[in-house]
Structure 1
């Protein structure tokens, strides 16, 4: 074809400037019958000899697709432009072994010649159910090959990922590349094909490169037509190798690589990617402690993505975080990374941690002193292990009260932001983390309703006062108490963190969390909106390093007090009480379920009605009465009546054979304690005497403490409604709230008995609905550690 030869001759001067193009353009056209022009052969040989083949083979964006033959009989590698230079379109799909080998080799070429993490890979293989990617299992496990679509849903996810890559590149948030390998595509929908064509147009300049098998009409691509025994390569986009598309250049395809070779290369590249991308816990959480300023927000490094290390913030833009992930999805590890990161970057006076675990109690065990390890995180102010819902509510209400206090201080100072407040007073930023927080909001009872109200207050106002929430859960669905408040609360949580198995954390149309592997998380700072996602890898926790961090923190901040610890599963004993919390006129019954774990010790004053009734059939109430008596002696004279025959009485307690005997000529300043009071055996005169002591005894220091196993017998003994004010203090155990209404009032209908808890009702207090306590029981139980100091000093 004279025209083809004339074109090559006219281009000789241009060829000399671009030797690699000369080598391709100088390929012999099989359809050319004319003799070889000596000048053309000479130009080919000169161009071939000047090629730096090592340099060309090292270019990741020149794909090896075979060899061109020169007129002299020599061959040169056929390296077609890729990435910004164009895509690659093959006329057959990867069910043809030659095509599969070509695409697989091209992909390995790119990965081997780029830095680890610089290239991500996604694939489609609907025609062979992923067979073309089978040798690349190691790359999938290493997270390099992020997804292989084998159905329509998978295709949509892959296209979503590629479109996000373009959006991130346009926004300047990403400088890596995504390689989309279409191995086979059975009957693509029109919409999906249009999306691929759009990606082909925009992807060249914005980080998406496509290897399309079986899609020869893909735009912006170098096309290779695969024949039975030959192949031809057509003009790459923007590079006129020939005078027209009809003059395609013959190509010798490479041999088909073996599966073992592909698998071994994939394993090598996967190992390299893991090594380069591994962010160790020690990298994330250094031993040295920082002294960062919390005035404008808290910053913590949580992992690494393809662009480098990722740091997230608690500030006015992202004041609260919502974290979701299935059981075993890495939620606890992520929280440890977050909290240890904060503890090593800021001083305890700058960050105060309140940690609530509503499940098995493993999330925050590293933050508290234990019998085997006395180290702890000094930033932790209160930690709930297997927390009661009431304890979680108490923490939220305490944070709300702290916000009110800070608000008043800010008004007095004439400032309107936390940053301005810090210039006057060093109030710490507060981070409250609640794991499996949906337990706190379960149902639609009083606790759930009050917790929702407290959450809404903190969510709306917390940013102004340096108070931040981190709520972690498997799902947000099915929480009845949130139906009316879900948007108003979670609308204040722009930071969404989705781990594997996360549900309803991201927006319904955002499936970025699908296909995440362990150690990966989707970070979204736009409330879960589609297109604002970053996939981040975070390290596993390291027990030895965590201990070293705690030891270093304890040395550095030796004056810090250990946190208040609420063990939801451990009983209490009176020995847990501190000096000043028991004795004298204080009736130590247990500890309130509040942030400070304050002592539940109503006073036995000389005011009318200061007697105690313990109500319920649980024998633990008898043990609580034992603890109360133990706390009174030896400072008070105590006379005990044991109608059960099972009470364990402390030394110094006088014993009476019956209640009637104990009441005979009772001296002033005497406490009468009765176990099994319903079995008193009093006659009418005895009951009259008993009721008179209840009414008149406190004014001369005579108090009755009685355990009734049945509410009805108690009411009869005190004279019914006429005597209800004569027993002002009650500790309710196994009697449900519905039975309390008639005697105590409608406000106590919420009470639901459960083991290890009791409801303390003091008619002389301002409480409405009583207070939940953990009652003291016998010392066979495991005591709960407790630290000195007032709630105000300890918590804030």
Structure 2
């Protein structure tokens, strides 16, 4: 047993010895590998240090320290071999670089100042040089053949960060000024804008360029307000990004090349820091701006601003007042900086550029400058785009499309709001044909701003794009509601078509249905706040419709332009921001309030005849100031309208004109002129307040209750309704088919009634004037008869009297005629001057016998018994009536009585 245990212990000890031996071997190998790795790491670190400093730039102390390294001999030998091989193979390198800079820095970008300084550039700004000269460098060897130009990319290519050395501020100013004057002298005036900010100086920033400060080419910013500059640049970036998204492009350069025109000027923002880190919020803002700036054509030149940015940045680090290290050439080459250009020559060059820019901008532009050379060449499939004014000679455009679907325009009286609307309408109409653009124009104020766009007595022309022109509608809020209902119906029609063709927007619908008629619709409502002036059903319905159109109209090409003198007073939208949120396009005329964002006060300081255009919901960074040319003076817009009329009038109908200040004339009304004999005659009471030129009519069928009551004491309107009802019915009967019976109990109205009777007789009909109404009612027999009763309330005393021996009074006979007459072809059209007297006439069970009524100067609460018990919202107003037909109406509607013949002059 003991021998067996000893044998097992020996085997275990032998195995452990073998394990220890193997572990020793592994540890030895690991130690050797570690030592080799540490030696290799030390060698690489030495190589990195040598490369970073440069073999030719090391101080004796550095070279002595490097020589003590165990791997020094090996590293120096390897680097020397690489450098020797490089310079052997790079004999043509400097010449290649000179050629490269020459190709990418043409003209002022790379040439000597004497060849261009003082001359105004001609580059339109569609493309840009890729490089801009800052100095020269010489490769190892030192002879002239190894010297080449050093240039840095700017503008679309890269930002530039400059780091100073002690007492080198004048040198840095020279570098920056050299670059700026090269850029400014390359492009045509206005193609470049320079923004200067210096944390340490309020003025005297590059003073040689100050002649440009009298133009938009140069702007200075308060040293304590870096956020102002960054906010402005951020606004440009957002605007360019939004425009690019619409074009399907990712950068301003792509848009310029695609359109072959300069859309926006290049911008160079020069930021002078002091070597200290910016405040955290400003640093974050700067990083955000820098990341999107290049794509928006904005280049930053940052001097001693120690902020890392996530964008392409080249660097220039000064060694002394003549030399620098550039990221373009690497740390092994020293750049010999170009000396500052002569101050006097720079000042004169800047002055010439400024003068050329001012001359290019010219004096005030005219309305004709807004118009294209050829009419109607643009497509509205994607958007509407039209210049409405100028800023320093450059056109400022309004864009209406998916990104900015609706516009809000504000300006107090005399600020030029109406003039702006004419400039907008004219510029749009000149660019888009009536097939591409349909206009619906409504003016609520007491004026005729848009009346000239429809044919008139003095000028037979009209604006072919206009489908509807409404003026003087301040008391006819129902007409604004009718327009919104029309637009809502059109929106449903277009949505149904889009669904049928499986598309989602107007552009795709037009592509899928090229044979359809799908113009973009622009509805302009001036003084639109009147539409929401009352706290009633009109306001509630209009608000609902407008919100729906504003929200969904953008995708179907239906756009609203809402204008007002005082947007602050629109109570209907308190707590309902849906409409204003959709009005991303804001135009504020001088002194306008609440049109732009709350903190944006640009309109307060806007000069006269200018406007602040903003496509970013009124946020300050979206401001564009524009001078609006005179578009509303006599004959200015008319000249364009005549051109458009000559071009399109033969193919497009005249617009519907609704003028709230004038009553329609029956003899000229289409619905009256279209009347002809019919088995179902229809009495026309007045004009409906609708988008279409429709008449309000009543079918006088042989059914119970088909009688008409005119209610109120307004004699002119009552006579008009009675007159138009009779005369329209007369046109629908052949002579001899109908008999008109006229009874007038109001002496003052007798001449008008007699005149009507004569007109009816002249048309071949029997028209009988009766004095004894009781006997006439008693003797009425069946057959087509129209009983015209004027002032029934005045006749009641005589009708209530029963003759001796008679069981029934004249009133009893009238009630019988009202109840039973329509079934036998006898219809009554009567005028009662009060509701109470109508009730007395009808008795306890007679309200059903008046199926139709037109109320004049009667309060709405009196009409409920005759409107199926519903609450009637009606306040009397001159020249208007409230109409209700229980067989067709859910609620009463406002109508306009026709003018009587003697007043239709």
**Shared topology, TM-score over 0.5?**
yes
* Residues 610, 727 of structure 1: 8 Å contact kept: yes
Compared CA separation, residues 56 and 580, structure 1 to 2 (3 A): closer
Task: Tell me how far 1:754 sits from its aligned partner.
Answer: 1.0
Structure 1 residues 145, 663: CA separation in 2 closer, same or farther (over 3 Å shift)?
Answer: farther
Structure-2 change in CA distance of 1:405 and 1:59 (3 Å): closer
Tell me, yes or no, if structure 1 residue 399 matches structure 2 residue 487: yes
Distance 1:120 1:333 in 2: 30
**Superposition deviation, residue 389 in structure 1:** 1.3
Deviations for 1:309-341, whole angstroms, at most 9, x for unmatched residues?
Answer: 4444443x2362222221333322332233223
**Which residue of structure 2 aligns with residue 741 of structure 1?**
864
The reply on whether 1:778 has 2:900 as its aligned counterpart is: yes
Deviations, residues 69-103 of structure 1 (Å, cap 9, x unaligned): xxxxxxxxxxxxxx99999xxxxxxxxxxxxxxxx
Change (3 A) 1:321 1:338: same
CA contact (8 A) 1:662 1:672 kept: no
List runs of 5+ in structure 2 lacking aligned partners.
1-111, 122-131, 133-154, 163-182, 198-202, 204-211, 242-249, 253-262, 271-278, 307-315, 324-338, 345-350, 734-738, 760-766, 802-808
- Are positions 1:477 and 2:477 aligned together? no
Mapped pair 1:618 → 2:724: no
Look up the SS of the partner of 1:502 in the other structure. coil
Give per-residue Cα distances to partners, 1:374-398, cap 9 Å, x unaligned.
Answer: 1011221111112221111111111
Is 1:641 aligned with 2:764? no
Are residue 725 (structure 1) and residue 815 (structure 2) matched? no
Q: Structure 1 residue 590: deviation in Å?
A: 0.9
Q: Which has the larger radius of gyration?
A: 2
- Is residue 378 from structure 1 mapped to residue 464 from structure 2 by the alignment? yes
User: Which residue of 2 is the match for residue 679 of structure 1?
Assistant: 794
Q: Which residue of 2 aligns with 1:438?
A: 529
1:688 deviates by: 0.5
Contact persistence 1:121–1:146 (CA under 8 A): yes
CA contact (8 A) 1:118 1:306 kept: no
Q: Tell me how far apart the structure 2 counterparts of residues 287 and 637 of structure 1 sit (CA, whole Å).
A: 63
CA contact (8 A) 2:610 2:625 kept: no
Deviation (angstroms), 1:514: 4.2
Matches within 5 A, 1:134-533: 161=232, 164=235, 176=265, 272=359, 274-275=361-362, 279-286=365-372, 288-305=374-391, 308-315=394-401, 317-318=402-403, 320-327=405-412, 328-387=414-473, 388-417=476-505, 418-487=509-578, 489-517=579-607, 518-524=609-615, 526-533=616-623
Asked whether the 8 Å contact 1:290–1:347 carries over to 2, the reply is: yes
The one of 651, 654, 657 equivalent to 1:559 is 651
- Structure 1: distance between partners of 2:517 and 2:240: 41
Which has the higher mean CA deviation after the structures are superposed, 670-679 or 320-329?
320-329
CA distance in 2, matches of 1:200, 1:407: 40
Q: What residue in structure 2 maps to residue 715 of structure 1?
A: 839
Aligned to 1:185: none
Shift of 1:475: 4.3
Q: Per the alignment, in what secondary structure is the counterpart of residue 761 of structure 1?
A: strand
The change in CA–CA distance for 1:762 and 1:191 in structure 2 (over 3 A counts) is same
SS of 1:282's partner is helix
Q: Does 1:631 align with 2:728?
A: yes
1:569 aligns with 2:661: yes
**CA–CA distance in structure 2, aligned partners of residues 160 and 515 of structure 1:** 19
1:341-385 Cα shifts (integer Å, max 9, x gaps): 332333323322211111133432232111111101122111111
Distance 1:605 1:143 in 2: 77
Measured in 1, the distance between the counterparts of 2:194 and 2:450 equals 37
Q: Deviations over 1:763-790 (max 9, x none)?
A: 111x22211101113245567xxxxxxx
**Contact 2:408–2:583 under 8 Å retained in 1:** no
Distance 1:483 1:716 in 2: 46
Gaps of at least 5 residues in structure 1 are 1-50, 62-82, 88-109, 125-129, 131-138, 182-189, 211-216, 221-235, 244-248, 255-263, 784-796
Partner of 2:784: 669
Please state how far the C-alpha of 1:56 moved relative to its aligned partner.
5.0
Note closer, same or farther for the CA distance 1:343–1:198 as it changes in structure 2 (3 Å cut): closer
Matched-pair contact (CA < 8 Å) for 2:407–2:586: yes
Q: Secondary structure at the match of 2:861?
A: helix
Question: Distance in 2 between the 1:352 and 1:371 partners?
Answer: 24
Q: What secondary structure, in the 3-state scheme, does the structure 2 residue paired with 1:588 have?
A: strand
Closer/same/farther in 2, CA of residues 253 and 469 from structure 1, 3 Å limit: closer
Per-residue deviation, residues 402-437 of structure 1 (Å, max 9, x unmatched)? 222333344444544433453352333322121221
Higher mean displacement: 444-453 or 743-752: 743-752
Q: Residues 427, 172 of structure 1: CA spacing in aligned structure 2 closer, same or farther, 3 A cutoff?
A: closer
Aligned residue in 2 for 1:214: none
Give the alignment's Cα RMSD to 1 decimal. Answer: 5.5
The answer to whether the Cα contact below 8 Å between 2:161 and 2:304 also exists between their aligned partners in 1 is no
**Would the alpha carbon gap of residues 306 and 645 (structure 1) be closer, same or farther in structure 2, given more than 3 Å must change?**
closer
Does the 8 A contact of 1:305 with 1:535 survive in 2?
yes
* TM-score, normalised relative to structure 2: 0.60
Q: Secondary structure at 2:376's aligned position in 1? A: coil
Shift of 1:737: 1.1
- What secondary structure sits across from 1:646 in the alignment? helix
**CA shift at 1:655, angstroms?**
1.7
